[in-house]
Amino acid sequence: MADSNTDVKKMPFETAIQELESIVKRLEEGKVPLEESVAIYERGEVLKARCEELLRQAEARVEKITLDASGKPSGSEPLDVD
């Protein structure tokens, strides 16, 4: 698990999700003292929020391909995320 001082706001998605999965596994095992459980749960919440933020950013960048009358790609337009 990453150092608890690691700035979550600068973490790439893969690092944040890996640490979050590690926290979930530790909590599910039930072998963590109560005080530490609370601390890592709180960090998990911050990591979850970071992952959600990065996923929203990625969705906003996804584009769908537009086709011309003959069915060939003619460009792209932003994806409707509604």
pLDDT of residue 4: 55
Distance of CA 14 to the CA centre of its chain: 7
Query: 3-state DSSP call for residue 27?
Result: helix
Q: Which amino acid is at 79?
A: L
Give the range among 46-50, 69-73, 76-80 with minimum mean pLDDT: 76-80
pLDDT in tens, 28-55: 999 999 999 999 999 999 999 999 999 9
pTM: 0.70
Q: CA-CA distance, 52 to 55, in Å (whole number)?
A: 5
Q: Which residues pair with 66 in a beta bridge?
A: 75
